[in-house]
């Protein structure tokens, strides 16, 4: 296979652009199942053809003269939405799971930002990515990356050696080059490749920031200022806590399918993809709070990374009735906890909930789903139409609680 097609960075970028699956696997076999990143020995790309590369393969992303391995690049992509402190915490956990066999590279802020921007095809240039061998002017890598960003397969190296007499140019690429429009990235637009230090501006601005206004604004001006400030505020994301118990019917692996698509699959079934994610996002339109844009909910199993103010954003707690779940909560006593946050217990239809759940009374909502009768099925059972009824009941309870607690279009309640 041509070197361009085997390049880990281009394969990853092409797979992201086309939306094809990327799976950590424990071998290079064609039928190897997906495993956790700590157990993986290969990273398998399913498009344009199934290709498996060793997960510790060095890549062309070379900060400080040290190539970053494929595992670290893929891990950075999986955690692209989390803040640097949380990312470092996840990286430390993965390093512990690896047991000293390898270490995940800890990216600096600008390194990770530039890498994610390039992987998302938002930029064609990255000074930390070395050109491919024999590609000094970047013609091959740029052409392959451009095609990858459009979801096309990367071309073979022999047919795209370049322009201006540097080999035979593929007619398809010639057509693309004739129609291409030069686009500048943020570096070329700003006329430079090094970040500019604007820290001196803070000292100059401090004088103006500390001055008090010399007059009280009129009611009209004050109202306009308040509205503008109100519109610029970023809406916080509500938080839903899941039970980390292995007996829970809803885990990180199947909660997204359940709450977003109203489709229940067992956490360990083939149709519920295994995941080592510590946090998930789902979207839901809450018309009584904001009819114009969906709200993004954060789903987590643990509260280890919680700041005190995060508790004001918790809108539901899924529980199995085991009180050890609440050990590190702000309110470790279940009775006190469910005075502030609604509880949700999901069990099998026809079975009684645990005695502890019944003892907590109406503050914990009991939801029943049909048993899973097709353990070998890899697709959603179309007969499970009552799942939607159960999910809508859960969302109705969550929405009612959010309105009662004072959730607004652009702010969370000050306390719950």
- pLDDT tens digits for 350-397? 889 999 999 888 889 999 998 877 655 545 555 678 888 999 999 999
Distances 289 to 92, 142, 416 between C-alpha atoms, Å: 38, 46, 17
**CATH number given to 239-405:** 3.40.50.11990
Q: Residues 357, 364: contact at Cβ < 8 Å? A: yes
Number of Cα atoms under 13 Å in the Cβ half of residue 260: 16
Alpha carbon 193 to its chain's center: 28
Residue 377: CB atoms within 10 A of its CB come to 13
What is the mean pLDDT of each successive set of 10 residues along the chain, which is 416 residues long? Answer: 65 88 88 88 85 91 89 90 84 87 84 86 82 59 47 42 46 68 59 62 70 50 43 74 90 89 80 62 88 88 85 93 91 91 92 90 90 62 78 92 87 81
| List of residues 6+ apart from 56 with CB closer than 8 A | 69, 70, 71, 102
- Is the pTM higher than 0.85? no
Strands lying side by side in the sheet with 42-45: 22-25, 42-45, 51-54
Which DSSP symbol is given to 7? -
Identify the residue whose tokens are 């670290």.
72
Domain with CATH 3.40.50.11990 in the chain: 239-405
Alpha carbon 343 to its chain's center: 26
Beta strand 343-348 pairing with 314-318: parallel
């Amino acid at each position: 296979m041509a070197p361009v097609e085997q390049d880990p960075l281009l394969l990853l970028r092409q797979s992201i652009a086309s939306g094809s699956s990327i799976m950590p696997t424990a071998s290079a076999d064609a039928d190897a199942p997906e495993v956790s990143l700590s157990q993986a020995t290969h990273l398998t790309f399913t498009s344009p053809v199934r290709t498996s590369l060793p997960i510790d393969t060095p890549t062309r992303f070379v900060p400080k003269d040290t190539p970053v391995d494929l595992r670290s690049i893929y891990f950075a992509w999986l955690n692209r939405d989390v803040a640097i402190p949380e990312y470092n915490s996840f990286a430390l956990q993965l390093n512990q799971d690896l047991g000293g066999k390898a270490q995940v590279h800890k990216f600096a802020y600008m390194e990770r930002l530039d890498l994610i921007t390039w992987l998302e095809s938002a930029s064609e240039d990255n000074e930390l990515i070395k050109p491919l061998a024999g590609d000094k002017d970047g013609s091959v890598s740029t052409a392959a990356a451009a095609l990858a960003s459009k979801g096309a397969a990367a071309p073979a190296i022999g047919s795209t050696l370049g322009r201006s007499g540097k080999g035979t140019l593929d007619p398809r690429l010639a057509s693309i080059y004739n129609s291409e429009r030069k686009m500048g990235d943020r570096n070329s637009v700003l006329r430079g490749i090094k970040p500019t230090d604007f820290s001196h501006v803070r000292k100059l601005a401090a004088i103006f920031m500390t001055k008090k206004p010399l007059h009280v604004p009129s009611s009209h001006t004050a109202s306009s200022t308040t509205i503008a400030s109100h519109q610029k505020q970023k809406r916080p994301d509500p938080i839903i806590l899941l039970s980390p118990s292995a007996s829970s019917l809803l885990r990180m692996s199947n909660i997204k399918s359940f709450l977003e698509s109203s489709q229940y699959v067992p956490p360990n079934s083939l149709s519920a993809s295994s995941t080592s994610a510590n946090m998930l996002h789902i979207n839901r339109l809450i018309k009584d709070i904001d009819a114009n844009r969906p709200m993004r909910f954060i789903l987590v199993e643990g509260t280890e990374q919680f700041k005190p103010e995060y508790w004001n954003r918790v809108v539901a707690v899924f529980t199995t009735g085991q009180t050890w779940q609440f050990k590190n909560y702000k309110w470790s006593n279940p009775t006190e906890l469910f005075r502030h946050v609604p509880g949700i217990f999901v069990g099998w239809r026809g079975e009684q909930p645990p005695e502890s759940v019944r003892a907590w009374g109406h503050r914990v909502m009991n939801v029943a789903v049909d048993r899973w009768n097709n353990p070998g099925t890899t697709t959603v059972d179309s007969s499970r139409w009552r799942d939607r009824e159960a999910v809508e009941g859960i969302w109705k309870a969550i929405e009612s609680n959010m309105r009662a607690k004072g959730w607004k279009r652009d702010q969370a309640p000050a306390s719950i």
